[in-house]
Homo-oligomer: A and B are copies of this chain.
Amino acid sequence: MNGKMTLILFSGDLDKALAAFTLATTAASAGMEVTIFFTFWGLNIIKKKRYSQVKGQNPLQRMFNLMSTSKLPISKLNMLGLGPAMMNIAMKKVGMTQLRDLKDLARTLRVKYIACSTSCGFFGLKQEDLVPEVDEFAGASSYLAKAMESKINLFI
């Protein structure tokens, strides 16, 4: 399939991240050029597991930074973390691809990652706090330029 797609990944929920990466990898497998713009809570998905705790962070930044990339909440039935655990079990049982594997596949298929620089500033995240696969640190205007060339643009 010829054409481009952009996804704004605003949410940091496991279920929405799964939806985004399933769309991204399916499109990229079919030959489309895919860009994911990670903003706000979505940045949690591309945070390194351990990263430099900086002094002088405000409470919201500290809380965001305590959110674990490997234990994302889900948008319904979260039940204090029990939901995501059950979700992972259910996914394994039916042989559904885990987020970790979808992320690996996305990189192999050269899905482009843009980390929203404004949100990074807001959460006190630096380039070294994010996974090395991030292609670009940029703002909304970079996203818009990509979206203008794309057939499919979604906000997740």
Interface size class of A (residues with CB under 8 A): 35 or more
Distance in Å from the Cβ of A26 to the closest Cβ of chain B?
Answer: 4
- How distant is the Cα of A30 from the Cα of B144 in the complex, in angstroms? 10
Are A3's CB and B148's CB within 8 A?
A: yes
**A interface residue numbers (CB < 8 A to B):** 1, 3, 5, 8, 10-12, 15-16, 19, 22-23, 26-27, 30, 32, 39-41, 58-61, 63-64, 75-77, 83, 86-87, 89-91, 93-94, 96, 118, 121-124, 139-141, 143-145, 147-148, 151-156
Given A22-B140, A23-B144, A155-B156, 19 further pairs, Cβ under 8 A: A1-B144, A5-B144, A10-B15, A11-B75, A15-B41, A19-B40, A19-B155, A26-B141, A27-B144, A30-B144, A41-B75, A58-B89, A60-B77, A60-B89, A63-B77, A94-B121, A94-B122, A94-B124, A148-B152
